[in-house]
Amino acid sequence: MDMKALILSGGRGTRLRPLTYTGAKQLVPVVNKPILWYGIEQIVAAGITDIGIIVSPETGEAIRQATGDGTQFGAQITYILQSSPDGLAHAVKVAQPFLQDSPFLMYLGDNLIRDRLTSFVDQFVKQSLDALILLKQVPNPTAFGVAVLNDQGQVTQLLEKPQNPPSNLALVGVYLFSPTIHTVIESLKPSNRGELEITDAIQALVNADKAVMAQPLQGWWLDTGKKDDLLAANQIILDETPGSEIAGHIDEATQISGRVRVGANSQVINSTIRGPVAIGQNCHIENCFVGSYSSIADGVRMVDVEMDHSVVLEGAVIEELHQRIVDSLIGRRARLVHSPKRPKASRFMIGDDCVLELT
């Protein structure tokens, strides 16, 4: 069966500001790899290689530049412009010329899930379904689209961010659809948010007695839209990344313990690195303590810094800080430089191109 995939990568990333004023949230790295790429790899691993990516006018070019034509993933990528953010079902409508009459997998580009997608694709095909939605039990269902199922696992009702949730099963942001969805979306009315909601489209399939099933995820699911989610994703993926790999130069005074990856042309001098830690290429790390669950992207310079459980994006400079940096997300080309001593732990969320002096 000739199945396609549609990745939605257009959102504005308001919950990750100021980091995303100048970049796409789907390109924010987790363990030095853009979030979006994890989804592409999952889709290709499930045997789907014809992929459309929905992009916005603001960040589409950056996503295209970073991700390319799909060759590096063994896929063919088509970029589809959604000129205004009018809902997930609107994105499907915009992508209709690309999707045509193919069944397709739809994937929200800022999601990270552990489960392999292959079994879901297989079930969708074998049972000739019109829709298969992935669900996860959540403690706060009012924040999500929520599904109600019957005993057979068929979807009977969907509600978007309900005040009184009828279940704790949230829609994860991975869906499989037959081309029937296009007919439903044609007659869809905007919600009170002014958007064409995918939950309304799936509900319309249910109301028309179409075959709509759901599968719960077994493993973790992370929506990386907020700083703490991003740090959690970084921790989980570092935990599941096997082995150490040192491609850069580590001097004799440096102590490394646990699983540590250091990229090519990076120098680590007189420092302690306690894994799991990922350090990118062309970094300079000197007189530092880098604690577990930290990811440092390419081209970062760190001198006289103590850091734990933090993510540093490319080109950042951090020098001579006398506070330990914890639970922090530091943007591209940000500069954190020392002013007079004051020993404390610090928490940061710092946007691209910022300069901070700590006094």
CATH number of the domain to which 251 belongs: 2.160.10.10
38/174 same-domain check: yes
146/37 same-domain check: yes
Domain boundary among 202, 237, 272: 237
197/293 same-domain check: no
Check: CB of residue 351 under 8 Å from CB of residue 17: yes
Residue range 276-287, pLDDT digits in tens: 999 999 999 999
Domain boundary among 237, 252, 286: 237
Longest dimension (CA), the chain: 69
Residue 58: per-residue pLDDT = 87
Mean pLDDT per segment of 10 residues, for the chain of length 359 residues? 89 53 74 93 96 93 94 97 91 96 94 88 96 92 90 90 90 94 95 90 95 90 76 91 92 96 97 97 98 97 96 94 89 82 67 68
Residue 241: per-residue pLDDT = 86
Domain hosting residue 311, numbered range: 241-358
3-state secondary structure of 270: coil
Check: CB of residue 186 under 8 Å from CB of residue 208: no
Q: For residue 5, what are the β-bridge partners?
A: 51, 105
268/156 same-domain check: no
Question: Which amino acid belongs to residue 35?
Answer: I
CATH number of the domain to which 69 belongs: 3.90.550.10
45/176 same-domain check: yes
Cα separations in angstroms, 78 against 52, 193, 247, 270: 5, 29, 34, 47
233/272 same-domain check: no
30/130 same-domain check: yes
260/165 same-domain check: no
266/316 same-domain check: yes
Burial of residue 127 (number of CB atoms within 10 Å: 0-12, 13-18, 19+): exposed
Residue 221: per-residue pLDDT = 82
Distance CA 131, CA 176 (A): 5
52/143 same-domain check: yes
Contacts of 316 (CB under 8 A, 6+ apart): 297, 300, 301, 330, 331, 332, 333, 334, 335, 336
Residue 21: per-residue pLDDT = 47
Task: Please tell me what DSSP assigns to residue 154.
Answer: B
The token duo for 19 is 């980091």
22/109 same-domain check: yes
Contacts of 191 (CB under 8 A, 6+ apart): 87, 160, 197, 200
Q: How many residues does the chain have?
A: 359
Residue 322: per-residue pLDDT = 80
Count the domains in the chain: 2
71/179 same-domain check: yes
Rounded percentage of the chain residues whose pLDDT exceeds 70 = 92
Domain boundary among 237, 269, 285: 237
Residue 85: per-residue pLDDT = 84
